[in-house]
A and B are shown apart, each in its own frame.
Chain A
Amino acid sequence: MATWTPMPNNQLRLRFERELGQLDFSDFAASADLEEENVYGGNVDLEPEQRWISELTYERRFWGEGVVSIGYRHDEIIDAIDRIPLAGGLSAVAISARARWTGCR
């Protein structure tokens, strides 16, 4: 992360980071819902998603408490987790393809 303050109350922040996601335990482990008479398989091969994050934010402070900030972010997501089709009309939570996320805030 790099921060640059070209003038007082004006700041530019640049972030470039690799982030590792968290798995949802219920996707990983098998379970049963006795009331609904359903069994849910778990995917032991599931791995957390990885993201390469690039983010640029400009922030200006004014009038004491006042803040205006605008940011742009782009994530390249590897091992995105999604719902995949299985034979027999079933589906499962598994690692899918790469994904992209572009955001403005």
Chain B
Amino acid sequence: MTLPLDKLGAPGARFTFKNDWNKTAVTDPTTGEERPISGVRATQANIGIEQDITRWKLQWGVNWLPYLGQPNYSPDQVSRWRGTDYFEMFAEYKPSPTLAIRAQLNLWDDFTNSRTVFADRETRAVAFIEDSTVDPRTFVSIRVRKTF
């Protein structure tokens, strides 16, 4: 959904919302039971605001992904990766039609990965569960683009 915000007193601004809801099923080659397809994200909402300020030749925006995650299945282990509150903020200045300078800031919470390892393939008794946290770190990028 794209909702122009001009009528709410923010000329050139837009609110955006996008989401996929996925339900998948495949027969697991090891267990013979039904489970989701490996590597497919069940849902990933993206909520954003953008604004074009033409008199300053500037566009800015913020995007928020409240939740990211996906499972991965293999014969000896299942791992689930999860992330929350991913923010992407940008500002792009276009002094001319052929030159654009963009600055972007990415802010993310820590990702968690939970790995369940099985002792054997027949009973699938759990040998151990490993929980780890990854700090993806905040980063800034600057891009200068000139077209010829």
Contacts and interface: CB of A to CB of B under 8 A. Distances in A.
Interface of A: 63-69, 77, 80, 82-85, 89, 91, 94, 96-105
B76 A91 contact: yes
A65 B29 CA distance: 47
Nearest to A64: B4
B3 A66 contact: yes
A100 B26 CA distance: 7
Interface of A is mostly: strand
Contacts of A83: 29, 38, 73-75
7 contacts: A65-B2, A67-B2, A91-B74, A97-B29, A101-B40, A102-B24, A105-B19
Interface of B: 1-4, 6-7, 14, 18-30, 37-38, 40, 73-76, 121
B81 to A, nearest CB: 16
Contact of B24 (A64, A94, A99): A99
Contact of A80 (B4, B30, B37, B73): B37
A97 B37 CA distance: 11
Nearest to B19: A105
A25 B44 CA distance: 28
Contacts of A82: 26, 28-29, 37-38, 73
B25 A100 contact: yes
A85 B40 contact: no
